[in-house]
Every structure is written in structure tokens, then in C-alpha cells.
Amino acid sequence: MNWTEIIAGVPVLAVGDAARAEILGVEYDSRAVRAGSLFVAMRGETTDGNRYVRAALDAGAVAIVTDSRESFAFADARGVPAALIADGRRALAEVSANFFGHPERQVKLCGITGTNGKTTTAFLLEGLLNSVARKCVLIGTIETHVAGAVRPSAHTTPESRDVLAIFADGAAAGATEAVMEMSSHALQQERVWALPVDVAVFTNLTQDHLDYHGTMDAYAAAKARLFEGVGAAAPRVAVINADDAYAAVMVAAAKDCETRWSYGVDGAADFKASDVVLRAGATSFVMATPFGDAEVTSQLTGRVNVYNLLAAVAAAMGRGLTLDEVVAGAAALPPVPGRFETVTNALGFSVVVDYAHTDDALRNLIVLARELAGEARVITLFGCGGDRDKTKRPKMGRAAGEGSDVVIVTSDNPRSEDPAVIADEALAGVRETGNMSVRVVLDRAAAIALAVNEARAGDIVLIAGKGHEKTQTSHGVAMPFDDVAVAAAALREREAKA
């Protein structure tokens, strides 16, 4: 692709006089630049890509798109094709779409946003679409799927260049559908610029990421951008949790959507669950829809998954599946990794790994465990992430203390912070509840072993916070750590002693 083609339609403030260049790739990270690359130098949240223009050129970049007049002048003076643009992230999306042949136009995109439930809902929706033989792209927190092939995910929502590259691979493999988790950061930072969303889903909004957004209203406004369209038209279909306190904000943002559907359990909704029956590994309910009523059965566990199923079903029907198809598909859907994932053992108690990392998610997890445990105990192990919203730490402690018989406070990705300080802030919340059966064990592996050895027949051990994650980050280093594997090892050791 030549220089003229790759900047076609991109709003530019100035274009250099250099001759055309043949573009072999688009990069925003100078370390990924190869001979023939176009380098998009943009100001980011933590660094400025314009600092690396010289490095990109030295690595073989043959063209520069930049939001800095100095970088533009530097590249132009070296005889390199250059364009000065006002917004780096928007330009990255636009030149990437040109380079990859606009794959966003070849797949129908479902975007899912919310504090909790994004990952599960995305997996369920992909499963429903796959159940009627539609090939899909899935981009989310746990992993990326490209027409059945599995790739690791670095971020919940990648930069636009990476999204478009995945879409291009998917389209080439025959995918016609895409399902994406869209984080509030990605919506606010416009990493999803110009992606045409066909069906948009809102799961819920509870406190998280206030270190970035500042207030709940700002957090909600970032989520609401999904329904307004980010550099693209508003979605055709909006699917909104009617039982959430921020539903009205999302409904208002979705005013230009052709179809607006609500879902819920407690109040009036277009997709409404009633006669809910919850058991471990089995959920059933009667679902009322605009297309008729049906009984839904699922292998998933808990009330929260009733909401996730309703959201996925509504989105799937927005994509044209029939009521019979979603009911049949829902019955066959497997549990999602790291979401109420059971670690098997022969000791007579349950060990569950879950991603719950907000006070609301932790409270919901404990309520579900309490329902399943009956007269037995709930043992909750949790920690709080470092370099994130500190105000939710005592709230998570209160959630654990209020609902659990035994609480173990440990580390969970402390990042640059002191794990002991984080634990003290969470512990303060536990103590407010009067729960005296609490211990602090900063070594997460030792804490998991303690929880396993504490359990008696019938108890439920909850290992919360990391779920599917395979590393733990401290002082800038991500070390291998898998809650499921560590719990399994602790269980084997106890079984050997039994």
C-alpha cells in the first residue's frame, strides 16, 4: 500500500512534500517497527510516542504520522513522508483501517461494557453464535479467539491497530461476527475509534477504576459512549441491564439506537427471568422475551449468571438468532475459565477460583457460596490490586467480613505498592464488620494452602481476585502464578496426608 492510499480520508493538518513510500505495516510501538513500517507517533496516557520517532526511523520506518509539529518537521526534514494530525489515537485507527482493508466492515460487531460480567457475557455470546455455525472473533480479558483459534490477550481492549489486525485475520478465516469487551478506559481513550458496533451491551456499573475516572458519574459517562458511537454511528441494537442503578444513563445515551432492549430479574424488562432455580452447576429460569417465553437451562452457577445469560441471549437475538436457537445454545454452554471455576478434590469440600475484584463482585460471589454451603462455612481469600483505586479496599474488606465465616487477606498484583499497606487498608474494612476470624498472609501461595487446610467437609473455599490470570505482578515484574494450579497443588498435598 502506498503513502497516498494509507492516509486517504484521514483528517490531516499538514502533509510533507516527500515522495511516495510503499507501506508494509503500521506500528505505534517503535520496538515493533520493521523495514517498510509506518510509525504512528502519538501522545499516550503514560508516555509520548514522539520521543521514539528517531528510533523508529533508525529501525526502518518509511513514513511518520504524528500529533507533534516537532516530530513532523523532523521527519519531513529527513525526506520521509509525514503527516501532522490533531489526534493520534483517531489517526492510528484510520490508517490501520486503510492498511488492513477495512475488516471492521466485514464482521458484525457486538460490544460489551460494564464493571462485572463482561468476560462471561462475551464468552456466552460467542458460544451462542458458534452454536448456529457462525464463525467469530472474540477479543477480551482472558483470551482472543480468531475463528476457533485461541491467542493470548494482553489487554481487555487492545489498541485499534491490533483490533483491526485481529479482525482482518478473522475475516480471512471466514468470520462474520465479532464479540468484544470494551473497557471504560478504551472507550474514554478512543481505542475503539470508528468501529461500527451493531449490538451494544451494558452489564452493570459498580465502583472500580476511580483512580482513572475520578467519579462514578465520569465512569458511567465513559461506559455510555458505547451507546453513542465512538467515531461511528450509534449501535443498531442496545441491550441494557434494567436492574442496574445506571440503566437510565445508558438508555439516554442509546437514544439514536434503532432498537433498545432491557433485561433483568427484579423489575419490568424486555428479557425477564422468573421462576429462577439455582443449584451448583445448574441454573434454570423462565425467560420472557419480545418473541415469546421459554425455559432456559444452563450449566452455569448463580444469580449473577442469570443476568449474564439474559444479556447474551438478547444480544444473540439482536444478531438474528431465534428463540429456539438461543435456548438450545444456552443449555450447551460450558462455564467460563476463572469465573466460579471449581478445583476438584476428594476431601469433601469445594474450592472455587473467581475473578471477583470489586466489592460488588466479591459480595455477589460470597452470597452465592453462602446459598450453596447451607450450614457449612464460607472461607474467603482475597486481596486488592496495587496502583488502583484505594477507596474500594476497605469496601472489599467489608464485603468479605460481612458474608464469610473465615477471611484470609493476601496479595493480589501489588504492582509498585507495599503489599502489607494494601492488606492493612483491606483489613480495616473486615474489622468494621466485627468478624474476628481473619488472618493476613501476604504470600498468596501460602494463603491458599492455609485456606485449603482450614476447610472442613461441606465448606466452600473462595479464592477471589485473579481468576484466569497466570501471573502476579510486583515491583514491575510479572511472575508465573495460577490460582487454580496453586490450589490444586495444595489439595494434592492435603490429600496425601489424609
Residue 117 marked in a binding site? yes
With cell 438474528, the residue in question is: 320
* Contact predicate 487/449, CB 8 Å: no
For 211, the 3-state DSSP assignment is helix
Residue 235 marked in a binding site? no
Residue 465 marked in a binding site? yes
**How many other CB atoms are there within 10 angstroms of residue 428's CB atom?**
13
Residue 114 marked in a binding site? yes
Residue 113 marked in a binding site? no
Interatomic CA distance for residues 300 and 311, integer angstroms: 14
Which amino acid type is present at position 69?
Answer: R
Residue 196 marked in a binding site? no
Residue 116 marked in a binding site? yes
Interatomic CA distance for residues 189 and 397, integer angstroms: 31
Residue 281 marked in a binding site? no
Residue 111 marked in a binding site? no
**How many other CB atoms are there within 10 angstroms of residue 55's CB atom?**
13
For 116, the 3-state DSSP assignment is coil
Residue 156 marked in a binding site? yes
Residue 30 marked in a binding site? yes
DSSP string, 265-292: SSS--SEEEEEEEEETTEEEEEEEETTE
Residue 469 marked in a binding site? yes
Residue 160 marked in a binding site? no
Residue 412 marked in a binding site? yes
What 288-291 contacts at long range (C-beta under 8 Å, 24+ apart), as own/partner pairs, is 289/313, 289/314, 289/317, 289/323, 290/261, 291/317, 291/322, 291/323
Interatomic CA distance for residues 299 and 199, integer angstroms: 25
Q: Is residue 480 exposed (0-12), middle (13-18) or buried (19+ Cβ within 10 Å)? A: exposed
Q: In what order do the strands lie in the sheet with 63-66?
A: 14-15, 82-84, 63-66, 37-41, 25-27
Residue 183 marked in a binding site? yes
CA dihedral sign, ordered 310, 316, 318, 324: negative
* φ, ψ (nearest 5 deg) of residue 349: -130, 170
DSSP annotation of 44 reads -
Residue 472 marked in a binding site? no
Interatomic CA distance for residues 214 and 402, integer angstroms: 27
Residue 4 marked in a binding site? no
Q: Which of 183, 472, 468, 462 is nearest to 336 (CA)?
A: 468
Residue 157 marked in a binding site? yes
Binding residues for ATP, as ranges, are 114-120
Binding residues for meso-2,6-diaminopimelate, as ranges, are 388, 412-415, 465, 469
Binding residues, as ranges, are 30, 114-120, 156-157, 183, 189, 191, 388, 412-415, 465, 469
